[in-house]
Structure 1
Amino acid sequence: MDPFALRPLGRTDLRLPQLGFGGAPFGNLFTIVSDDEAEATLQAGWDAGLRYFDTSPWYGRGLSEQRIGRFLRRQARGEFLLTTKIGRVFTAPADPDAFAASKRDWPNGLHFEHRYDYSYDGVMRAYEDSLQRLGLNRVDALLIHDLDLANLGSEVLVSAHLAQLATGGMRALQELKAAGQIGAIGAGVNRIGTIPRFLKLLDLDFFLVALPYTLAEQPVLDHEFPLCEERGVGIVIGGVFASGILATGVLPGATYNYHPPTPAEAAHVRGIEAVCARHDVPLAAAALQFPLHHPLVASVIPGGFRPDHVTRNIASMQHAIPDALWAELKHEGLLRADAPTP
């Protein structure tokens, strides 16, 4: 599979490479990454042909945007695609010493507090702040970030912020798109049930789907993806390795959707590993290529924080996979029979 072949993103004019780069690791997601390591990783990816990069203000509280922007602003602007996210506004903490000493998300990120803000002014502020951190005067798409129960903590807050977005923030996004400052409006999705709720209120171009559509599980095939197909909404897959286990296999410390795998989950992944081994296909190659067989999916964007991570992902995309592998996974009950495959 050609990693850099272009696919349309839903009904928009954007065409994405089949393989992009997810910038969460540059916020020090699980591992502390130095500026030099981030630079070397981006350079290796660029030299190998990567041209689509996704980041967010939330990744390291601005650190990922700074690192990716520092690299990309040295490249010709027409040669790459860049997406980032809205939903949080960052400010200096009232008590910097207390903030530095506190336990918090992204403990090695930048020292800025955040508030959730999906209002018109909040979206515009987040967008302008992102441009400043990136050092670029435009991005190709903006995504609504983390508007769900897992991040906000209560259904009351989810409903309130959704209403704020529907009555204010969405107007800001539409104005930016109409002015040609962005080419698409998307939303990040981690949980089943979010896509229908968003589409009931918002006119979106695409979803960045992390977790509910991987080689390990495909629940979005029941309702979510058919709904997107009806609306002409495109898909980008973010959590293609299910937070790691589909890249490494069942090893000590490997996580499945950000938690230690249950015995059933571990047995399921081991079964997939065994089928891949019988066909001489690396597990990571099957995991990367699988989502792209769905006609809605424009791109997969695994992360990485070392040069060999990105070059290995490119090689995994290029690894030939026989049709018999997908057939065997379905026959063994390890992959849904209705999952699109060759």
Structure 2
Amino acid sequence: MSLKEILPGKLGFGTAPLGNMFRAIPDEEAAATVEAAWDQGIRYYDTAPFYGAGLAESRLGEVLSTKPRDAYILSTKVGRVILDEHETAARDLGEKGGLFEHGNPNKMLHVWTAEATERSIEDSLRRLGVDRLDIVWVHDIAQDFHGDAWLSKFEEARTGAFRVLSRLRDEGVIKAWGLGVNRTEPIELTLALDEPRPDGFLLAGRYTLLDHEHALQRLLPTAQEQNVDMVVGGPYSSGVLAGGTHFEYQQAPPEIIEKVSRLKTLAHKHGISIKAAALQFSLAHPAAAAVIPGATRPSRIAEDTAALNETVPAAFWTDLRTAGLVSPAAPLPHGA
């Protein structure tokens, strides 16, 4: 089953910020944000054990476990097993060091074996307070976390997590599985395999207004040929496209700040929000099934919903192309 057949709409909710990404968030604020997403009609929720060492899953579950289970689609990820033991040393998170320093202090095992995959799913169900998952992503088997060792992690997942998730899908326990990564190469490698076959992928930060050329060249043509859909994560490039200062989970460099300034100037000229441009650009690719911005304040959810529904004139997209702010190969709304 394709992701487009499974997902209930174009806008989902990414819960990484609920794991205290960048800052400590009060429990009440986290719960209010999830409730706001529900009230705005969002029915696809994505989470992961990695987000605050189980914190995001627990917070999401506190709200969703009170809702009718058949009324929403839920995805989480495998690759991290959360232990009861607390971490005393600094976490080794590759390029993402310090990302969840305000999350739970529990130790995490980074492992993609069959046994760890099954344990991870059981633990996620418990934290979420639900009896089943719809989609499971294999998380972060890529260079940004593992450097040159990423291929060995990929092989561990190929012989472990991939096979477990394929079996669970074939048995009807889950509806779909795929990779959830911040780099295109693991997905490219997976699509080149004879088996097992993923149903889709969650690509974070690689199909945004600020970064899409590589995915257009290397990944998306193959994905389309194989009818494998994409969920776009991080459509605001870690926040810099939505008024924040982070790009790729770090402070945005000067060249990114300059490009964002040009994008905002063009958006202002056409009387639209930069959020509308960002979300609608990411969804314009035929492979895109949904986009899942994250949020930690209820007001942000309303902004995202409004941005998705905002009317963006065709002239904006034409000017965007003319200004060289997007790849010539990028599909744009209105066929611009």
Flag whether TM exceeds 0.5 (same fold). Answer: yes
Alpha-carbon shift at residue 338 of structure 1 (Å): 1.8
2:223 aligned with 1:228 = yes
- 1:246-325 superposed matches below 5 A: 246-248=241-243, 254-325=245-316
Match of 1:210 in 2: 204
In the alignment, is the contact (CA less than 8 A) between 1:9 and 1:16 conserved in 2? no
- Select the residue among 33, 36, 43 that pairs with 2:25: 33
Match of 2:115 in 1: 121
Q: Letter of the aligned partner of 2:29 in structure 1?
A: E
2:236 aligned with 1:241 = yes
Alpha-carbon shift at residue 198 of structure 1 (Å): 2.4
1:246 alignment partner, SS class: helix
Q: Letter of the aligned partner of 1:46 in structure 2?
A: W
Match of 1:142 in 2: 136
Alpha-carbon shift at residue 327 of structure 1 (Å): 0.5
Match of 2:317 in 1: 326
Alpha-carbon shift at residue 181 of structure 1 (Å): 1.5
Structure 1 portions without partners, runs of 5+: 1-6
- 1:155-170 superposed matches below 5 A: 155-156=148-149, 158-170=150-162
Kindly tell me the number of residue pairs found equivalent between the two proteins.
323
- 1:80-99 superposed matches below 5 A: 80-93=72-85, 96=86, 99=87
Q: Letter of the aligned partner of 1:148 in structure 2?
A: A
In the alignment, is the contact (CA less than 8 A) between 1:16 and 1:298 conserved in 2? no
Match of 1:49 in 2: 41
In the alignment, is the contact (CA less than 8 A) between 2:276 and 2:307 conserved in 1? yes
Once the two structures are superposed, what CA deviation does each residue of 1:258-308 show, in whole Å capped at 9, x if it has no partner? 233333322222111111111000111111111111111010000111110
In the alignment, is the contact (CA less than 8 A) between 2:78 and 2:137 conserved in 1? yes
Match of 1:76 in 2: 68
Once the two structures are superposed, what CA deviation does each residue of 1:239-263 show, in whole Å capped at 9, x if it has no partner? 1001111111xxxx61222233333
Distance 1:168 1:257, change over 3 A: closer
Alpha-carbon shift at residue 214 of structure 1 (Å): 0.4
Alpha-carbon shift at residue 8 of structure 1 (Å): 5.6
- Select the residue among 64, 67, 80 that pairs with 2:59: 67
In the alignment, is the contact (CA less than 8 A) between 2:21 and 2:101 conserved in 1? no
In the alignment, is the contact (CA less than 8 A) between 2:184 and 2:203 conserved in 1? no
Q: Distance in 2 between matches of 1:192 and 1:168?
A: 20
Once the two structures are superposed, what CA deviation does each residue of 1:20-75 show, in whole Å capped at 9, x if it has no partner? 00000110001211111111111111112111100000001001000111111100
Once the two structures are superposed, what CA deviation does each residue of 1:72-96 show, in whole Å capped at 9, x if it has no partner? 1100111111100001112222xx4
Structure 2 portions without partners, runs of 5+: 92-97
Alpha-carbon shift at residue 108 of structure 1 (Å): 2.8
- Select the residue among 11, 14, 21 that pairs with 1:19: 11
Q: TM-score, normalised by structure 2?
A: 0.92
In the alignment, is the contact (CA less than 8 A) between 2:237 and 2:248 conserved in 1? yes
Indicate the RMSD between aligned Cα atoms, in angstroms.
1.7
Percent sequence identity over aligned pairs = 36
